[in-house]
Amino acid sequence: MDATLDELLDRCVSYHGHLCMGQTLGVRLALKGMELIGTSNPRQMIALIENDRCIADAIQIVTGTRIGRRSAKLVDLGKMAATFLNCETGVSWRVNIRQVDPAAKHGEAACRSVLCVPDAELLSWRRVRVQLKPEEMPGRPKKTVECACCGEKVFDNKDVAGADGPLCRACADGTYCVELTKEEE
């Protein structure tokens, strides 16, 4: 990467909308993860991000991975951590934030100062094995079926078996939203 740490953080802030400690920590997680797996090429890596907060945006910006390209995946465990997988070598490392002082200041100077903290003080990392199914990898869908109930397309083995054919998970198990009646609209 040719960009300075401050430039990377500025790109993240521009995308995310504000500077916060999560942006700074996401930058640091992403940089360490790429160093450990030996690539900064977004087409050669997958980032499995463990929370849906500020670090997720920063990790995607720094690594160039994207949920829509299936190279960034949200595995929401509510943790300040991510696992980075080199798709070509199979090498993967999980990187997490050690402990950030809850009383720490969160102004711009405090956020930017974290860019200079040594890796060993800020982060922990360990070698892990990531087992993804072929249909979870980046690229074109491996399988597409039509839900026997709602008729919508379901990609990459995300369907479940139903009595009358494949079902989307929403039809099989219920969904996160409920359609409004005319009176409710």
CATH number for the domain running over 5-136: 3.30.1330.130
CA 20 to chain CA centroid, nearest Å: 18
pLDDT of res. 75: 96
Q: Is the pLDDT of residue 1 over 60?
A: no
Residue 128 CB: number of other CB atoms within 10 A?
A: 14
Q: Is the pLDDT of residue 2 over 70?
A: no
Give the mean pLDDT of the chain: 92
Handedness of CA 97, 103, 104, 108 (dihedral sign): positive
- b/e code 133-144 from CB counts within 10 Å (16+ = b): eeeeebeeeeee
From 59, 81, 90, select the one nearest 72 (Cα to Cα): 59
Handedness of CA 26, 27, 28, 30 (dihedral sign): positive
pLDDT tens across 20-29, in order? Answer: 999 999 999 9
Domains of the chain by residue range:
5-136, 140-185
Q: Under a CB-based contact definition with an 8 Å cutoff, are residues 54 and 80 in contact?
A: no
pLDDT tens across 132-167, in order? Answer: 988 888 988 889 999 999 999 999 989 999 999 999
Query: How far apart are the C-alpha atoms of 25 and 38, rounded to whole Å?
Result: 20
Q: Under a CB-based contact definition with an 8 Å cutoff, are residues 69 and 138 in contact?
A: yes
Q: Can you tell me the mean pLDDT for 50-77?
A: 96
pLDDT of res. 11: 93
CA dihedral 84, 132, 71, 1 (to 10 degrees): 30
pLDDT tens across 96-122, in order? Answer: 999 776 666 678 888 888 899 999 999
